[in-house]
Amino acid sequence: MSSPPILRAEGLRYAYRGVPAVQEVSLSVGEGEIVALLGANGAGKSTTVNMLAGVLRPAAGRVLWRGEDITGLPAHRVLERGIALVPEGRLIFPQMTVMENLQVAGTAPRAAADFSRRLDEILAIFPRLAERRAQPAGSLSGGEQQMLAIARGLVARPELLILDEPSLGLAPMLVRAVFDLVRDLNARGITVLLVEQNLHQTLRIAGRGYVLEKGRVALSGTGAALLDDPYVRQTYLGM
């Protein structure tokens, strides 16, 4: 890692009805990085980032943000510190318009102060959403809905954007567009923690990555090193 960590997780654990989902997961994210959290379905990726974002309270371990212990803080307080989660499944409000979805996100204290200026910036990044601002979100294509989910996450001016499976269910052309967008956001100064099953695409843009298996970190390293790792290539890439 080339920069000091702004986020550090140490020994996180979580169980659903007594069944371990995450066991002793530790990771870090440095300022300005794209860090990947990878693994098969059920490996514990979403559970891990939900703990980081305050959606779930860890059974053990701690989360440090810029040196402050934020373990167990509720999600709205984590957001106020600059960590935004774009959850798996998008979770937009389908009956509301594109603009109304963004306005709801703009009610958070961190977002409210300069919402109008921030909205202009976001619509410049997502011109398709600008064209469809009056359209019900549920009528958008899958790719457009994912763009809206990411745009909504950006409203609060996050320092760290956590994207949980942003390419899930999208056509290959749209998958490439999502990864291009992640690179663009990172170039704009946003640190990204990217949760994905698509290892090949992810490791091509991530500086570092962690591979989870059965709730534990099985491998970690630079994106290039993981992409060339024989175990990763055989197990996840079929090469």
Distance CA 86, CA 83 (A): 10
Distance CA 212, CA 44 (A): 7
CA dihedral (77, 78, 83, 89) positive or negative: negative
Q: How many CA atoms lie within 13 A of 21 on its CB side?
A: 19
Distance CA 83, CA 76 (A): 10
pLDDT of residue 2: 56
Fold of 1-82+199-239: Rossmann fold (3.40.50)
Residue 89: closest CA among 36, 38, 165: 165
Residue 75: closest CA among 165, 189, 156: 156
Q: Which amino acid is at 110?
A: R
**Per-residue tokens: 55:** 């959606």
E strand or H helix that includes residue 123: helix 115-125
According to DSSP, the β-strands at 34-38 and 208-213 are parallel
SS (H, E, C) 34-96: EEEEECCCCCCHHHHHHHHCCCCCCCEEEEEECCEECCCCCHHHHHHCCEEEECCCCCCCCCC
- Domain-wise residue ranges, the chain: 1-82+199-239
Phi-psi region of 11 (alpha: psi -120 to 50; beta: other; left: phi over 0): left
52 CB-contact burial (10 Å; exposed 0-12 / middle 13-18 / buried 19+): buried
pLDDT of residue 138: 92
pLDDT tens for each residue of the chain, 239 residues long: 556 799 999 999 999 988 999 999 999 999 999 999 999 889 999 999 999 999 999 999 999 999 999 999 999 999 999 999 998 877 889 999 999 999 988 877 777 778 888 889 999 999 999 999 999 999 998 888 999 999 999 988 899 999 999 888 888 888 888 899 999 999 999 999 999 988 888 999 999 999 999 999 999 999 999 999 998 888 887 65
Going from the C-alpha of 235 to that of each of 23, 36, 39, 136, 175, the distances in angstroms are 21, 17, 10, 41, 21
Q: Which amino acid is at 222?
A: T
pLDDT of residue 239: 53
